[in-house]
């Protein structure tokens, strides 16, 4: 069995932060969750035409929607019950949301 015999402490100058770069974050929301009929997608300050991909739990692309503007209603009645990923893409950003279809 080994035992600790000596502990050496070293005093070093603390690190300091000189600046923090804060990127503007785009607000995005998808609801209701869980959903049964339609899903509303909303976001702020989206800068270009966006693509919304609906991907199932195994990673297969189920549907794709081209969206212009800051909101869209996506019908989900044709989807089977289960977990889906809504992937919202623009030239500047990608956001992924988990949605449960009832």
Strand order in the sheet with 50-56: 61-67, 50-56, 82-89, 94-101
What pLDDT score was predicted for residue 10?
Answer: 64
pTM of the prediction? 0.72
Q: Which pLDDT score is estimated for 71?
A: 87
Residue 71 and residue 25: Cα distance in Å, rounded?
Answer: 17
Q: Which two tokens stand for residue 32?
A: 């209701």
Environment class of residue 89 by beta-carbon count within 10 Å: exposed (0-12), middle (13-18) or buried (19+)?
A: middle
Q: Looking at per-residue confidence, does 84 or 93 come out higher?
A: 84
User: Are the C-beta atoms of 41 and 74 separated by less than 8 Å?
Assistant: yes
Task: Give all domains of the chain, ordered by start, each with its CATH number.
Answer: 28-101 (2.60.40.3080)
Going by pLDDT thresholds of 50, 70 and 90, the confidence category of residue 92 is confident
């Amino acid at each position: 069995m080994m035992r600790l015999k000596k502990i050496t402490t070293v005093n070093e100058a603390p690190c300091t932060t000189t600046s923090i770069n804060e990127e503007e974050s785009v607000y995005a929301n998808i609801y209701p969750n869980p959903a049964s009929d339609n899903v509303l997608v909303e976001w702020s300050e989206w800068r270009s035409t966006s693509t919304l991909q609906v991907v199932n739990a195994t990673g297969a692309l189920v549907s794709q929607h081209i969206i212009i503007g800051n909101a869209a209603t996506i019908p989900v009645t044709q989807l089977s019950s289960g977990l889906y990923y809504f992937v919202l893409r623009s030239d500047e950003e990608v956001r992924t949301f988990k949605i449960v279809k009832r």
